[in-house]
Amino acid sequence: MNSFPQTLTLAGTDSGGGAGIMADLKTMEARHVFGTAVVVAVTAQNTLGVQKSLMLPIDMINAQCASLAADFQIKACKTGMLGDKEHVLAVANNLRQYDFGPLTVDPVMVAKGGAILLEEDAIKTMITELFPLATILTPNLLEAEKIVGQTIDTPSDFKRAAQMMQQMGAKNIVIKGGHKVGEKVQDYVLLANGHEQWLSAPRIDTKRTHGTGDTLSACITAELAKGHSIIQALQIAKNYISQAIAQTIQVGHGHGPLNHWA
């Protein structure tokens, strides 16, 4: 009873099915864990971009968390689009109140199409409230630069930035290198015990990458729920995302979505 790996995403929806909670749940399904979701924001969105978004009332965030805590044994969770200061705080409060297992924080800020998914003045709140709760933090290069306030280019820049994020309270860090140019996409990993590693995959020349950040963090969450170590979860997630990008499907007229059956 209640032993099948159960996971949770606290994030925003994507009506287009390619990113946010929809990508998270599809990934969890594909990775054979049970996915639950706390909807923090609703977006009217397709592969062309975000047309409109709505933040849910805080008491509705609290009610969703209470419902899950009363019935499920969540083994790992993740956060995605949190929108603004108040919602970052509300999510952090709930994560302090309930044990939803190791937390993957995907510090989502701006969609590839340019839509703001986290207000600028909420970044500080995210750092102070959420980072200390994070088992693993998964910024892309642009998010990492915003968080540490520095340009990240050389390997030593990656290391310094990851160390700064550890000083902010996050235990394990992966800085995704997808926004850099080069033949390979290289992600820099710094674990809580000081172990560092680069995860490498060939760069695939495609614009169909909508929802890659969500998918990677959801896959890490799924693998942590199964009991894998951080580094195992990261390696599985890196392979999964590479396949999902490589074996693209044609849906919509814009970016993505990914192929979760790849």
Cβ nearer to ligand PLP, comparing 15 with 163: 15
CB of 241 to ligand PLP, least distance (A): 11
Q: Work out which of 8, 10, 11, 219 binds ligand PLP, going by CB under 6 A.
A: 11
Cβ nearer to ligand PLP, comparing 106 with 223: 106
Region binding ligand PLP by CB under 6 A among candidate stretches 170-178, 194-202, 206-214, 237-245: 206-214
Scanning residues 114 to 133, which ones bind ligand PLP (CB under 6 A)?
117
Cβ nearer to ligand PLP, comparing 6 with 209: 209
Structure-token match 């969890």, residue found: 28
CA pair distance 123, 131, nearest whole angstrom: 11
Yes or no: say if 107 and 126 are a contact pair by the CB < 8 Å rule. Answer: yes
Binding track over 46-85 against ligand PLP, x by CB under 6 A: ----------------------------------xx----
Amino acid identity at 6: Q
CA pair distance 106, 167, nearest whole angstrom: 17
Q: What sign does the dihedral 43-49-51-52 (CA atoms) show? A: positive
Region binding ligand PLP by CB under 6 A among candidate stretches 108-116, 156-164, 180-188, 238-246: 108-116
CA pair distance 110, 100, nearest whole angstrom: 26
Q: Does 213 bind ligand PLP (CB under 6 A)?
A: yes
Yes or no: say if 101 and 77 are a contact pair by the CB < 8 Å rule. Answer: yes
Q: How many other C-beta atoms can be found within 10 angstroms of the C-beta atom of residue 229?
A: 11
Give the count of residues interacting with ligand PLP (CB under 6 A): 19
Q: Beta partners for 226? A: none
Q: Does 35 bind ligand PLP (CB under 6 A)?
A: no
CB of 42 to ligand PLP, least distance (A): 9
CA pair distance 167, 4, nearest whole angstrom: 35
CA pair distance 238, 78, nearest whole angstrom: 17
Scanning residues 137 to 196, which ones bind ligand PLP (CB under 6 A)?
none
Question: What is the binding site for ligand PLP (CB under 6 A)?
Answer: 11-12, 14, 19-20, 43, 45, 80-81, 108, 111-112, 117, 210-214, 255
